[in-house]
Amino acid sequence: MREEDRPAGVDGIRMREPVRGHRARVRSQACRFLRARWPVLARLGAWSVLEAGQTFVVGYALARALDAGFLAGNTRAGLLWLGAAGLAVGAGAYGTGRVYGVVAALVEPARDRLVTAVVARGVREADPGALSGLTQQVEIARDTLAGVVMVSRSFLFTAAGALIGLFSLAPLLLAVVLPPLLAGVALFAATLGPLARRQEAFLAADEALAQSLGEVCPGLRDVTAAGAEERVAGAVGERTAAEVRAARALAHWGVARVAALAVGGELPAVLLLFTAPWLLEHGVTPGALVGALAYVTQALLPALDNLVHGLGTSGSRLTVVLRRLTVRDPEGRGAVSLSGSAAGRDQPRTTRARPATALPPSSCALSVTSVTFAYGPASEPVLDDLDLTLPTGAHLAVVGPSGVGKSTLTALIAGLLTPTHGTIRAHEATVLIPQEAYVHTGTLSENLSLHRSDPVPEQELLAAADAVGLTPLLRRLGGPGAPVEPAELSAGERQLVALTRAYLSPAPLALLDEATCHLDPAAEARAERAFAARPGGTLVVVAHRMSSARRADRILVMDGARTACGTHAELLRSSALYRDLAGRWTEPAPLPRRSPLTPSPPRAISESRRSGSGPRSCG
């Protein structure tokens, strides 16, 4: 490996090893992305031709205005040529305005795909660099891609117009201007590699600083309690200083950019003036010489200046950012793809796909079999091999500490999340009422009928309101046809509206995810009893109060590997967590012994596990 190809380090911050074949892969993705947007590229080229047309017309018209107009004593012809140059400038300005809109149509889809892929990678791999990737590197990619497109397109079309104009005026002019222009562009191209390496060093330092701050900020109270302020401040200060040094090293390469600009943009004007006597002696007209100076100073020099300062910064940053976003490890796993996919997506994975969800038997409202779910491959499972069976008409309460996975379970049952492994069989018609109830502007009847395809008869609506406990609010508002302003309702009133709406829905399985947390205990009890008494209905309640658990037929206590299921009395004996939640700290009474010959009653708690740990089944 050549020295310049080795990954650089900045003050102890080691950058990721570039993946072999990365450039070819990025080029391939970029080609697919551009091929899919060829109409946008066609529009961009058309407006660029109109924008660059002024470059050719202005220089040529100035030369003709002098040679065929003012120097020849024909003022009218000179003014006409100058007028043509003015019209060309106006047309070019219009083309420039249209170019910006087309560039946005090309760049924004790329940015959206990068954001989607970086967020997915951060969740999938728990990547600590995803924060910097999302908040800075994706935005750098968007801005720099737009800059690269603008400056490279402008330079190509402007240079083409100017060189064609020089050749049309006199081929000798092209011979004087072209060599230093090519030398300047070559010198600038030679600096792109070192610029990219310094840019990558800067981004590595930025990622290290973001990771350090992400670790320190949530633990500031612990840092203060431990008296470690100076030590932590010193470590963060080192990361900050490393980023500053990387930024300065990047800035030093501005000298090379200035040299390239001087050779390619300013030296041609000097050569034109130096060789002017010789050019005039060899047939170049004064007007053509002035036109050539206009091409160099008004077209080539600004275009090259934009290219050097724009592409010199934007191009190197774009190359580095795309490499850091697309190269994650030596095998390319987890790479973000500009074409909208992840590299390695088709590779074999250790996680098993979820089999297709099917309806449970008619006597079973819900069947959860060996369900495992985690929010990413690097994350601990929230649910681990959970088995749960509910017969039709059952009433289950789910309890457990905050963050243990109660809401995740309801989201899996409702189909909002997909298990990593296992199957969930539930009725297609399932209604989930979350903690934050949704009420829209309209009449109360319209709010309550959202889950019904046909209007709800008023008598049925009034009966449902009475069962759930909405009647006082209904009367205060003025009846079912009364308008509802969501902002004027309390959180508890909005929950009553959402509960009544779910009660009126045809869904046999109702999931209440702390949907009564803003109600008083009496109102909560009334609503839960109404749902439990629905004919043919099955109720799963994520309990906000232990009184909800006491009302349920079965209680699922979620406690990681010690998850248990049973009645209130059974769990008081078998689950320490449930005793804690219920406020019962007494030692459990021993279970009665049975003779091995005595038939066992139906079990509410399954002790059999394939792995020996994890949630138990509830059936």
Q: Hey, what domains does the chain have and what are their CATH numbers?
A: 22-326 (1.20.1560.10), 365-582 (3.40.50.300)
Mean pLDDT of 26-50: 73
Mean pLDDT score of the chain: 76
pLDDT digits 0-9 by tens, 380-396: 888 888 888 888 889 99
Q: Which of 569, 521, 572, 567 lies closest to 544 in space, CA to CA? A: 521
Higher-pLDDT residue of 584, 209: 209
Higher-pLDDT residue of 214, 324: 214
Which two three-digit tokens encode residue 311?
């592409």
Check pLDDT > 90 for residue 143. no
Residue with tokens 């209007």: 455
Check pLDDT > 70 for residue 128. no
Count the Cβ atoms, other than its own, within 10 Å of residue 317.
25
Torsional sign, CA 458, 459, 461, 462: positive
Higher-pLDDT residue of 28, 20: 28
* Cα distances (angstroms) measured from residue 478 to each of 439, 444, 519: 17, 9, 22
Stated length of the chain = 619
How much is the pLDDT for 343?
39
pLDDT digits 0-9 by tens, 188-225: 888 777 776 777 677 778 778 877 887 777 777 667 76
Check pLDDT > 80 for residue 376. no
Looking at the DSSP assignment, which residues form a beta bridge with residue 539? 395, 510
- CA gap 502, 470 in Å, rounded: 13
Torsional sign, CA 210, 214, 215, 218: positive
Q: Which of 155, 563, 575 lies closest to 385 in space, CA to CA? A: 563
SS3 552: coil
How much is the pLDDT for 28?
67
Higher-pLDDT residue of 144, 5: 144
Tell me how far apart the terminal alpha carbons of the chain are, to the nearest angstrom: 63
How much is the pLDDT for 177?
92
Label the pairing between strands 364-373 and 383-391.
antiparallel
Higher-pLDDT residue of 587, 455: 455
Please give the sequence-ordered ranges of beta strands (E in DSSP) within 332-472, or none if there are none. 364-373, 383-391, 395-399, 421-426, 430-433, 442-443
Which two three-digit tokens encode residue 23?
């450039």
Q: Which residues contact 383 (CB under 8 A, 6 or more apart)?
A: 371, 372, 373, 405, 408, 409, 412, 419, 615
Check pLDDT > 90 for residue 469. yes
Looking at the DSSP assignment, which residues form a beta bridge with residue 443? 483
320-329, 347-356, 461-470: range with highest mean pLDDT: 461-470
Check pLDDT > 80 for residue 589. no
Q: Which of 6, 4, 7, 11 lies closest to 245 in space, CA to CA? A: 11
SS3 473: helix
How much is the pLDDT for 454?
84
- CA gap 549, 396 in Å, rounded: 8
